[in-house]
């Protein structure tokens, strides 16, 4: 229903707001070089610090050679359990092969592998790092990386180079703590 005394809506609006000043035209921003793509600087910093930490650990202790046994036992682990690990008497529940990986790749793979092993409640795992015979005249990189990383983890109770039938000094058996 319309009322005869109602005015046109547009005219009513114009009379309510009064006179209007038009806006000045906005100039587009000057065309120049595009902004650089964002970089993951914190990730790059973390990776460089991690590699620096690994290099520092290698310098602070004598690195393992190709034929050396990698061995470590926490004080709270009974010696008898460690002897069983050294003999390969625990059932290996999962395995990680690091052959062909760079140090950075191996570090990431090892961290992820141990997280998954812990999530699946594995008690013993095997990590194959190789003997390092292909290393450029220096110490075996992956073998030393695995040795240093495993020593720093709270969920690792002990590790020892595998018996000859399970990879010898090119692999390590790791005994993991229960949750």
Residue 112 has pLDDT above 90, yes or no: yes
Q: Are 175 and 81 in contact (CB under 8 A)?
A: yes
- Neighbouring-strand partners of residue 94: 125
**Three-state secondary structure call for residue 166:** helix
pTM score, whole prediction: 0.64
CB 147 within 8 A of CB 108: no
Closest CA to 170 of 120, 95, 80: 95
* pLDDT over threshold 80, residue 1: no
Q: What residues contact 43, with CB distance under 8 A and at least 6 apart?
A: none
pLDDT, residue 82, reads 94
Most confident of the ranges 86-95, 131-140, 142-151:
86-95
Query: What CATH number has the domain spanning 71-176?
Result: 3.30.1370.110
Kindly indicate the confidence band of residue 53, based on its pLDDT and cuts at 50, 70 and 90: low
Contacts of 64 (CB under 8 A, 6+ apart): 70, 139, 140, 143, 144, 147
137-156 pLDDT, tens digit each? 667 888 888 998 999 899 99
96 phi, psi to nearest 5 deg: -125, 125
- What is the C-alpha separation between 143 and 170, in angstroms, rounded? 8
Domain ranges of the chain: 71-176
Average of pLDDT values for 150-178?
92
């Amino acid at each position: 229903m319309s009322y005869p005394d109602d005015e046109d809506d547009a005219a009513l609006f114009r009379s309510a707001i009064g006179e209007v000043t038009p806006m000045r035209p906005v100039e587009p921003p000057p065309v120049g070089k595009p902004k650089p793509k964002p970089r993951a600087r914190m990730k790059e910093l973390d990776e460089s610090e991690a590699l620096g930490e690994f290099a520092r650990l290698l310098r602070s202790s004598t690195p393992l050679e190709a034929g050396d046994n990698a061995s470590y036992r926490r004080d709270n682990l009974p010696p008898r359990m460690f002897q069983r690990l050294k003999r390969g008497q625990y059932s290996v529940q999962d395995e990680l092969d690091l052959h062909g990986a760079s140090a950075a790749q191996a570090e990431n793979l090892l961290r992820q592998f141990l997280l998954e092993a812990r999530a699946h409640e594995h008690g013993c795992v095997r990590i194959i790092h190789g003997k390092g015979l292909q290393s450029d005249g220096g110490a075996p990189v992956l073998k030393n990386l695995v040795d240093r990383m495993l020593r720093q983890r709270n969920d690792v109770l002990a590790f020892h180079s595998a018996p000859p039938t399970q990879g010898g000094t090119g692999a390590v058996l790791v005994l993991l703590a229960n949750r």
